[in-house]
Amino acid sequence: MGSTNEILTGNAKLLKSRASKLSIAGVWISIGAIIIATITTGYLQANEISLESVIEAQKNNASLWLLNTMPFVFGFWGQYVSSMIAFEASAMVVDQTNDLRAQAAVFEKQALRGTTYDTLTGLPNRILLVDRLEQAINTASFERSKIAILVVDIDRFKDINDTLGHSTGDRVIRQISQRLRKIIPEPNTVARLGGDEFGIILKKFGTKEDAAEVVQTIKETLQVPLKLEGVRLDIDASIGITLYPEHGKDAQILLQRADVAMYQAKQKHCGFIMYTTTLDRCNTRRLTLMGELREAIINNELVAYYQPKIDIKTGKIKELEALVRWKHKVHGLVQPDDFIPMAEQTGLIKQLTLWILHESLMQCAKWNDEGLELMVSVNLSANDLMDIEFPETITRTLNAHNVSPEKLLLEITESSVMLDPNRALEVLTNLSALGVRLSVDDFGTGYSSLSYLSKLPVSELKIDKSFVMGMENNSNNTVIVQATIDLGHNLGLEVVAEGVETASSISLLQPLGCDTLQGYYFTKPLSAQEFNTWRSQNIATGRIRKKGGQLYMMLPEK
């Protein structure tokens, strides 16, 4: 308050001094006017200009008396008005200054909040999370208590953004943040680290089991489907966990290690993983591979492997499923589980799909030229199903290798269809119109609606290997396999059993009515050269017989 009065007084003095100079100039002008008027009057009365005529004019002329008072009146009035103007102007300046200061304070507060809170969700951001984690570590160190740090990453969120747009993606993030707020009470912290990644601080946790219980609650909460713009979205998450002080005593290290554990959980599709020191080596390898994958595609370091699918009644090799492998110059043969998730994360999955399409169709054309009537199947990603122009890509690729559409089967997963069922149905319908056959892969592991399954123009259903491999020791798996086979047949589909590794599993599948078998019992995935060698060796031993352009495997007797 005192500073405002000082500003007001100083401004008033400054303006008043400037106004006073003008009023003084006015006084001198009025005095000059009086002198001129008096001399003129004296001259007119006495016909001369002298002191006597001036004094006489002042004595006898009442008008000059009034004029004589004007300098004093003008001076007083000028001083008064100038003082009032100066004071009011200064007050206005002070008011405006205070308004600007108030606005600046609001902006400063908003800017400060913007540096510590996420603007989309209102949650603390990474900066504030780290600050709170450091405070929690200090408290836990004093109290000898534990802290759990969770990094939560939403699975397949990039597909939601790419398919439904970033505005819908933002709505999904807001809804997820609201769900997390409800189940993580204070004084714990939920923060948005960026994109589709959240960080959580759980204070005073006793055991790993306590943290795992909270993680399970988080997953169950997030798995409740969202409905946005008529689309049903199944949300899941991968979660990495670290504990203080077991996994580190520094906030940044704990978060970084939780992030490493999260990525491993995402890669292994296991929901959540607790950090261990062995994961650091995996993370270093992952970062290296991510940087080299693009070059691997360009430099043709990928290799196509093939696994046959066998008719359960005749033993005929119906087709070969094409599987991509990475022949790394340092790490050797890299399996798909190690780089397919990276391809999806970095947007290289479309290039990867295009590569395996070209490679498998080129090999299919070679086998056909050799007199082998073999067909190939290729797995598609969710990104491929969301691409309206993908059927045109298939047409160009088939034409480039002179392969007819019925020689190609495309395998899709339930989850990729359910990301946007309407668009997926449009793409699949266009593919079917080309004459390309379609298959639903890993059936039973997703959350698809049977009503959508009945609409899809597919010709084949593949039972996930986890059910097939468990049939020998778990009667419930046999019931599931039987139900799936019946469902497929009722929909007019052929049914393929993956994961066939023993003769006894074939004996179990035969009476259930399964159509096609695939698995290590026949052979592991082989390169084209290895397949040719395997075929020749088995023809020589009688396990495979060739009839015309067809190959037939010997099956175990019933």
- Summarize pLDDT for 239-264 with one digit per residue, the tens: 999 999 888 888 888 988 888 888 88
**Where among 435, 457, 479 does a domain terminate?**
457
Residues 318 and 238 in one domain: no
Instruction: Name residue 199's beta-bridge partners.
Output: 151, 191
Residue of 414, 434, 306 whose CA lies nearest to 366: 306
- 428 part of a folded domain: yes
If one counts the domains in the chain, the total is 5
CB-CB contact of 268 with 285 (8 Å): no
**Is it the case that residue 190 has pLDDT exceeding 60?**
yes
Flag whether 120 is in a domain: no
Give yes or no: residues 554 and 498 share one domain.
Answer: no
Rounded CA-CA distance 124/187 in Å is 13
Question: Last residue of a domain, which of 439, 457, 475?
Answer: 457
Confidence label for 112 from pLDDT (cuts 50, 70 and 90): very low
pLDDT over 50 (residue 111)? no
DSSP-H helix ranges across 61-125: 62-114
Mean pLDDT over 531-551 rounds to 93
Q: Is the same domain home to 164 and 225?
A: yes
Whole-number pLDDT of residue 433:
95
119 assigned to some structural domain: no
Which uninterrupted H or E stretch holds 516? Answer: strand 516-517
Same domain, 197 and 258: yes
pLDDT tier for residue 526 given thresholds of 50, 70 and 90: very high
Element (H, E) at 413: strand 408-413
Which stretch of 9-13, 255-259, 328-332, 436-440 has the lowest confidence by average pLDDT?
Answer: 9-13
Q: Is the pLDDT of residue 316 over 50?
A: yes
Alpha-carbon span 176 to 155, nearest angstrom: 12
- CA-angle at 331, arms to 326 and 337, nearest 5°: 50
Residues 174 and 266 in one domain: yes
Q: What is the mean pLDDT of residues 350-369?
A: 94
In-domain check, residue 283: no
Q: Are residues 31 and 78 in the same domain?
A: yes
In a domain, 159, yes or no: yes
Is 213 among the domain residues? yes
| Closest listed residue to residue 423, CA positions, set 395, 391, 377 | 391
Query: Do residue 272 and residue 140 come from a single domain?
Result: yes
Rounded Cα distance between 298 and 330, Å, is 17
Asked, for residue 288, whether it belongs to a domain, the answer is: no
29, 225, 401 from 427: Cα distances, Å: 94, 24, 22
| Segment (H or E) for 422 | helix 421-434
pLDDT score of 1: 45
**Which among 456, 387, 375, 443 has a CA at the least distance from the CA of 415?**
443
Residue 519 in tokens = 């698995």
Instruction: State whether 152 and 227 are in the same domain.
Output: yes
- For residue 341, is the peptide bond before it cis, meaning its omega torsion is within 30 degrees of 0? no
What mean pLDDT value characterizes the chain?
Answer: 81
The rounded distance, in Å, linking the Cα atoms of 176 and 184 is: 12
Of 457, 488, 503, which closes a domain?
A: 457
CA distance 313 to 555: 9
Note whether 463 and 443 are same-domain residues: no
Alpha-carbon separation of residue 293 from 153, 162, 268, 549 (angstroms): 22, 21, 19, 38
pLDDT tens digit string along 193-225?
888 899 999 987 767 777 788 888 998 898 888
For residue 184, pLDDT over 50 is answered with yes
pLDDT at position 414 is 73
Q: 263 and 144 share a domain?
A: yes
pLDDT band at 528 (very low <50, low <70, confident <90, very high): very high
Per-residue DSSP letter, 407: G
pLDDT tens-digit series, residues 30-60: 666 666 666 666 656 666 666 666 666 666 6
Q: Return all residues near 85 (Cβ < 8 A) that are at least 6 apart.
A: 15, 19
User: Does residue 543 lie within any of the structural domains?
Assistant: yes
Percent of all residues in the chain with a pLDDT value above 90, rounded to a whole number: 35
Beta carbons of 105 and 15 less than 8 angstroms apart: no
What CATH number should be reported for the domain holding residue 316?
3.20.20.450
Beta-sheet pairing, 437-443 with 460-463 = parallel
Q: Which residue has the tokens 């309407």?
A: 422
* 184/206 same-domain check: yes
More confident site: 51 or 405: 405
The yes-or-no verdict on residue 29 having pLDDT over 80 is: no
Residue 447's pLDDT is 44
Q: Which residues of 119-138 are buried (b: 16+ CB within 10 A; e: fewer)?
A: eebebbbbebbbebbeebbe
Alpha-carbon dihedral 128, 129, 132, 138, rounded to 10 degrees? -130
Does the structure show a pLDDT above 90 at 104? no
Domain boundaries, position 482: 459-522
Residues 179 and 191 in one domain: yes
pLDDT (mean) for 528-557:
92
